[in-house]
Amino acid sequence: MQVIILDATDLAAQNTLICGPEGYRELNLPFSKKQNDWIHANTEWKTMKHCCGGCEPLIEGFIEAGFDVLNPVQTSAKGMDAQLLSEKYGDRIVFWGGGVDTQRTLPFGTADEVRREVAERVKTFSGKNGFVFAAIHNIQSNTPTENVLAMFEALGRRL
């Protein structure tokens, strides 16, 4: 075992927070910190926080709680610019996801647009603490096969 998902509570939507930073610090952070501290003291595992949406204002709290990994990285949500996230938090948390937009680019873009976005995201996210490539979320059924293949092709070029 290498990674354990400790908290899968979505605290943000695409354009707003469901729980603000103060609420997170009061209600969630103390328990999450105890869990993370125990796991880090007693195992070699990394811990993951799942939170969809525009959760940027909460990321500092996720780091303070001891999470090693954030998934997904919904770069299509408010405040979740890939470059900003990488610069502000990239040396303190691993980003798992955000490799290609599954709401716009992957299902509706061209294969070339997919390749460009994948290349840009890998370059942006992989420079500091680490990056686990994944699409922002699940690949939807209406996504063209050529775009999925373009995603893997572009990733293969970056490795």
The confidence score (pLDDT) of residue 95 equals: 97
Q: 81: Cβ–Cβ under 8 A, 6 or more apart, which residues?
A: 75
Smallest Cα–Cα separation from 95: which of 126, 63, 58, 70? 70
Domain regions of the chain by residue span? 3-158
Q: What is the CATH number of domain 3-158?
A: 3.20.20.210
The confidence score (pLDDT) of residue 128 equals: 80
DSSP the chain: --EEEEE----B-SSSBSS-HHHIIIIIHHHHHHHHHHHHHH-S-EEEEE--SS-HHHHHHHHHTT--EEE---TTSTT--HHHHHHHHTTTSEEE--SS-TTTHHHHS-HHHHHHHHHHHHHHHTTSS-EE---SSPPPTTS-HHHHHHHHHHHHHH-
Stretches where the chain sits below pLDDT 50 are none
φ, ψ for residue 3, nearest 5 deg: -135, 140
Mean pLDDT of the chain: 96
The confidence score (pLDDT) of residue 159 equals: 62
pLDDT tens profile 81-93: 999 999 999 999 9
